C-alpha cells in the first residue's frame, strides 16, 4: 500500500503542509516510524518526540502546525490516525466463497459474496447476510442469523437461534448463547432451569476474544447498537447493554442487569444482578457495583461509591495509622488532663 502525502491529506480531509508527492508506505508510532512511514501526534506530551522521529510526515492538530516537518493538519488527529490506519491495513484475508471443507447443514441461506472457511460448521437453517465472513473453526448452530458485513474470527461459537446484526466483529473463542446460570436450589442439589431465550446482538457491535454471553432464561440477552466489548467479558442471562456502551476486559455482569446507553465499565469490574446502571454511568476498573446507579454518575472501588467519595476514603486509608496513633495520644492526653483537674462535687 502506498499513498502520496497529498492523497493522504485528501483522504483524511486534512490540510497539507509539505510536499504533495512525498511517498508514504506505512503508519507507525512516533518512536518507531521509519522514513517510509507517516506518524501522528494525538497528545501534546508526545510532541517532544517529534524532533527525534524518523517519520516522513506527521498527522497533527492545529496546535502543532508550527512543526518544521511535512504535515497533515486535521481537527481530530486521533480520529485521523484511525482512518489512516484503515488505509494502510492489509486487506482482510478471507476464504473466496464457501469452502468444500466447511460443513453446511440443510436450508442454509447465504447472501452475496459470503466467505466460509474450511473447518467451519454451519447448522441447519442458518442465514448469513451479504459479505459475511466466517473464519476457520467457527461453529454456528441451527437457525443462527448474521447480518451483512459481519466478521467472525476463528473459533467463534454461536449457539442455536441467536441473532447477530450487521457489521459485527466477533473475535476468536467468543461464545454467544451459552446457557444462563439458572438453578433452583434444593436439598437434593440444584435443579437446572432450562434456558429458552436467545442472544440478540444489534448492529456495529464488537465482541472480544473468549467473551461469553449467555442466552436469556426466557426472552433475550441484548447487546445494543455500537457496543464494544474487550476480551474475556462475561454477560449473564437477560442482561441488556445499551447503545455504544464500552466494556473493558474481564468485566462481568450478572443476570437481568440493565446497562443504559454509553455506559463504560473498566477492566475487571463486576456488576451485580437485577440492577440498573443509568445512561453514561462510568465504573472504574475492578469496582464492584451492587446497587443501581443513576445516570451520569462515576463510581469506583468495592463496594462501588461515587468516585469522589472513594478517592477521599482511599486517601484517608493512607492516614489510618496516623489517625490511630493520634487517637491514642489524645486519649493519653485527656487522661492526664483529667488527673490535673479537680473533680467537681456531684452535688
3-state SS class at 311 = helix
Of these, 55, 133, 153, 257, which contacts a copy of itself (CB under 8 A)? 153
- Region 34-73 residues binding a copy of itself, contact defined as CB under 8 A: none
- The verdict on 228 binding a copy of itself (CB under 8 A) reads yes
Q: Which C-beta is closer to a copy of itself: that of 5 or that of 243?
A: 243
- The verdict on 3 binding a copy of itself (CB under 8 A) reads no
Q: Which C-beta is closer to a copy of itself: that of 20 or that of 309?
A: 309
267-273 contact pairs (CB < 8 A, 24+): 267/230, 273/236
Residue from 155, 237, 244, 307 carrying the catalytic annotation: 237
Stretch that binds a copy of itself, among 5-13, 49-57, 126-134, 328-336 (CB under 8 A): 328-336
**Strand partners of residue 276:** 258
CB of 342 to a copy of itself, least distance (A): 8
Of these, 44, 75, 191, 294, which contacts a copy of itself (CB under 8 A)? 191
Of these, 57, 152, 159, 162, which contacts a copy of itself (CB under 8 A)? 159
Of these, 44, 63, 65, 89, which contacts a copy of itself (CB under 8 A)? 89
Give the integer Cα–Cα distance in Å for 288 and 235: 15
Residue appearing with cell numbers 465472513: 133
- The verdict on 275 binding a copy of itself (CB under 8 A) reads no
- The verdict on 252 binding a copy of itself (CB under 8 A) reads yes
3-state SS class at 332 = helix
CB of 316 to a copy of itself, least distance (A): 5
Of these, 137, 165, 260, 278, which contacts a copy of itself (CB under 8 A)? 137
- The verdict on 14 binding a copy of itself (CB under 8 A) reads no
Look at residues 282, 189, 200 and name the one whose alpha carbon lies nearest to residue 237.
200
Concatenating the DSSP letter of every residue in 259-306 gives E-TT-EE-TT-EE-SS-EE-TT-EE-TT-EE-S-B-TT-EEETTTTEE
- The verdict on 246 binding a copy of itself (CB under 8 A) reads yes
- The verdict on 232 binding a copy of itself (CB under 8 A) reads yes
3-state SS class at 334 = helix
CB of 294 to a copy of itself, least distance (A): 18
The dihedrals phi and psi of 300, each to the nearest 5 degrees, come to -155, 170
Torsion of CA 207, 245, 87, 23, to 10 degrees: -130
Of these, 11, 50, 67, 218, which contacts a copy of itself (CB under 8 A)? 218
- The verdict on 118 binding a copy of itself (CB under 8 A) reads yes
237 has catalytic annotation:
yes
3-state SS class at 44 = helix
Look at residues 87, 39, 37, 32 and name the one whose alpha carbon lies nearest to residue 60.
39
Of these, 13, 63, 65, 82, which contacts a copy of itself (CB under 8 A)? 82
Of these, 69, 193, 292, 307, which contacts a copy of itself (CB under 8 A)? 193
CB of 214 to a copy of itself, least distance (A): 7
CB 287 within 8 A of CB 266: yes
Query: Helix axis angle, 307-318 relative to 320-340, nearest 10°?
Result: 60
Give the integer Cα–Cα distance in Å for 19 and 17: 7
- The verdict on 103 binding a copy of itself (CB under 8 A) reads yes
Write out the catalytic residue numbers: 237
Amino acid at each position: 500500500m502506498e499513498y502520496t502525502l497529498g492523497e493522504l491529506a485528501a483522504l483524511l480531509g486534512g490540510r497539507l503542509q509539505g510536499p504533495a508527492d512525498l511517498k508514504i508506505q506505512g503508519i507507525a508510532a512516533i518512536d518507531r516510524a521509519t522514513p517510509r512511514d507517516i506518524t501522528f501526534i494525538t497528545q501534546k506530551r508526545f510532541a517532544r518526540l517529534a524532533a527525534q522521529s524518523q517519520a516522513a510526515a506527521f498527522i497533527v492538530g492545529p496546535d502543532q502546525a508550527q512543526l518544521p516537518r511535512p504535515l497533515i493538519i486535521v481537527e481530530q488527529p486521533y480520529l485521523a490516525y484511525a482512518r489512516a490506519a484503515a488505509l494502510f491495513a492489509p486487506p482482510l484475508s478471507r476464504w473466496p466463497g464457501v469452502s468444500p471443507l466447511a460443513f453446511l447443514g440443510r436450508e442454509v441461506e447465504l447472501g452475496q459474496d459470503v466467505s466460509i472457511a474450511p473447518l467451519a460448521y454451519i447448522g441447519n437453517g442458518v442465514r448469513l447476510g451479504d459479505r459475511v465472513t466466517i473464519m476457520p473453526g467457527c461453529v454456528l448452530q441451527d437457525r443462527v442469523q448474521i447480518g451483512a458485513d459481519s466478521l467472525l474470527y476463528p473459533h467463534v461459537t454461536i449457539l442455536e437461534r441467536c441473532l447477530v446484526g450487521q457489521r459485527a466483529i466477533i473475535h476468536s473463542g467468543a461464545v454467544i448463547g451459552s446457557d444462563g446460570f439458572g438453578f433452583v436450589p434444593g436439598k437434593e442439589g440444584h435443579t437446572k432451569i432450562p434456558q429458552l431465550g436467545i442472544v440478540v446482538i444489534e448492529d456495529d457491535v464488537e465482541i472480544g476474544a473468549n467473551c461469553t454471553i449467555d442466552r436469556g432464561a426466557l426472552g433475550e440477552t441484548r447487546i445494543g447498537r455500537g457496543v464494544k466489548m474487550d476480551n474475556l467479558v462475561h454477560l449473564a442471562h437477560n442482561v441488556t447493554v445499551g447503545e455504544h456502551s464500552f466494556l473493558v476486559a474481564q468485566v462481568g455482569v450478572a443476570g437481568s442487569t440493565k446497562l443504559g446507553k454509553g455506559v463504560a465499565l473498566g477492566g475487571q469490574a463486576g456488576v451485580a444482578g437485577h440492577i440498573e446502571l443509568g445512561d453514561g454511568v462510568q465504573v472504574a476498573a475492578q469496582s464492584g457495583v451492587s446497587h443501581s446507579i443513576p445516570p451520569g454518575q462515576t463510581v469506583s472501588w468495592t463496594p462501588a461509591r461515587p468516585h469522589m467519595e472513594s478517592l477521599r476514603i482511599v486517601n484517608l486509608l493512607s492516614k489510618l495509622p496516623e489517625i490511630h496513633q493520634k487517637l491514642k495520644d489524645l486519649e493519653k492526653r485527656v487522661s492526664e488532663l483529667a488527673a490535673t483537674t479537680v473533680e467537681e462535687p456531684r452535688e
